[in-house]
């Protein structure tokens, strides 16, 4: 039976390690500070922000949530970011994506001071990642590496395949795996015979945003499978097809009318993989944990606490 890689457990370990670091920073005059900018009323984004604020409260990190209206212009949002850049008590700035269509998201992300870019998206920090220099790393990819290391899953010398080439997950996780001495292949929509490439992987990272696309035929027996996708599915026909051999999961779907699915098949993958992350409870909890870690590290650098 495949080993389940519990993201909640690793999240709790990371948070326990961060608490004394937060206390050391606070002993120098103030707690680490995180500002989250949430434009408009996107329900999914509101849930993510609430979870981030709660994590701050749990750790003793000062948090501030700014909620400008959906109609905000790019220049107005830039002014908010510049104000946060100038504040001594704010160590991390996070602008929750997606932004409304009238806002130039690239200009907003570029305006965040690299030292306060706790999402790790600024080109300066992407460059630091490529060069192997210190700096904040994108939270989900950094969480994946933490998960692998804490479960003592080998990375060096392993063949890693990343399905998806986004700037947020695919590209940075490929670079982090490369820095850990894996041999890395990045796949995407133009990759021929995707299943055959995936079957070569000792470490398979699925980050393409298509629920249950990665089936058992994509996975080498015994491989470690990291599922980054999270999609709420309400399609009854899809649920019946996926859960035809799992009546308890089908019953849960029928009772609720929906289910959360990752990018890998929830029944086939555990049967063939050596280890895998569940959805929910796998990679998701680590994203916020690494955001907290980036915020604390920024506060340590800015206050001289090391």
52: annotated active-site residue: yes
| Helical (H) or strand (E) element with 176 | helix 170-179
Judged by DSSP in three states, 200 sits in coil
Let me know: does 169 contact 141? Beta carbons within 8 Å. yes
* Per-residue DSSP letter, 134: S
Contact 288, 55 (CB under 8 A): yes
Q: Residue 100 has what DSSP assignment?
A: P
Residues in the chain: 306
Active-site residue 119, yes or no?
yes
How many CB atoms neighbour CB 225 within 10 A? 29
What is the spatial distance between Cα 52 and Cα 288, in angstroms, rounded to a whole number? 6
The helix (H) or strand (E) run that includes residue 227 is strand 224-227
Contacts of residue 261, Cβ cutoff 8 Å, sequence gap at least 6? 211, 212, 229, 230, 231, 232, 233, 242, 279
On whether the CB atoms of residues 11 and 289 are closer than 8 A, the answer is: yes
Catalytic residue among 15, 52, 171, 220: 52
Which member of 96, 117, 171, 202 is catalytic?
96
Catalytic residue among 15, 91, 117, 119: 119
Known catalytic membership, residue 83: no
Q: How far apart are CA 228 and CA 163, in angstroms?
A: 10
The residues that are catalytic are 52, 96, 119
């Amino acid at each position: 039976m495949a080993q389940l890689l519990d993201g909640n457990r690793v999240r709790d370990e990371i948070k326990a390690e961060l608490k004394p670091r937060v206390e050391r920073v606070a002993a120098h005059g103030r707690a680490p500070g995180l500002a989250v900018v949430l434009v408009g009323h996107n329900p999914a984004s509101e849930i993510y922000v609430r979870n981030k604020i709660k994590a701050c409260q749990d750790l003793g990190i000062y948090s501030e949530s700014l909620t400008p209206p959906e109609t905000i212009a790019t220049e107005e949002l830039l002014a908010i970011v510049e104000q946060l850049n100038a504040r001594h008590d704010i160590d991390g700035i996070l602008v929750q994506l997606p932004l409304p269509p009238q806002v130039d998201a690239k200009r907003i992300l570029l305006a965040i001071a690299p030292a306060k870019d706790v999402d790790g998206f600024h080109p300066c920090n992407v460059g630091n990642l490529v060069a192997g220099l210190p700096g904040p790393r994108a939270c989900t990819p950094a969480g994946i590496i933490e998960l692998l290391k804490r479960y003592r899953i080998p990375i060096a010398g392993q063949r890693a395949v990343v399905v998806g080439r986004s700037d947020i997950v695919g590209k940075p996780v490929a670079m982090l795996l490369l820095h850990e001495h894996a041999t890395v292949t990045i796949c995407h929509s133009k990759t021929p015979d995707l299943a055959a490439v995936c079957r070569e992987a000792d470490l398979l990272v699925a980050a393409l945003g298509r629920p249950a696309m990665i089936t058992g035929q994509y996975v080498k027996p015994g491989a470690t499978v990291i599922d980054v996708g999270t999609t709420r599915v309400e399609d009854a026909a899809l649920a019946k097809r996926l859960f035809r051999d799992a009546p308890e999961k089908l019953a849960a779907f029928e009772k609720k009318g929906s289910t959360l699915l990752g990018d890998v098949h929830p029944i086939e993958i555990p049967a063939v993989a050596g280890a895998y992350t569940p959805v929910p409870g796998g990679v998701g909890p680590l994203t916020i944990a690494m955001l907290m870690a980036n915020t604390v590290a920024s506060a340590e650098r800015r206050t001289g606490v090391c």
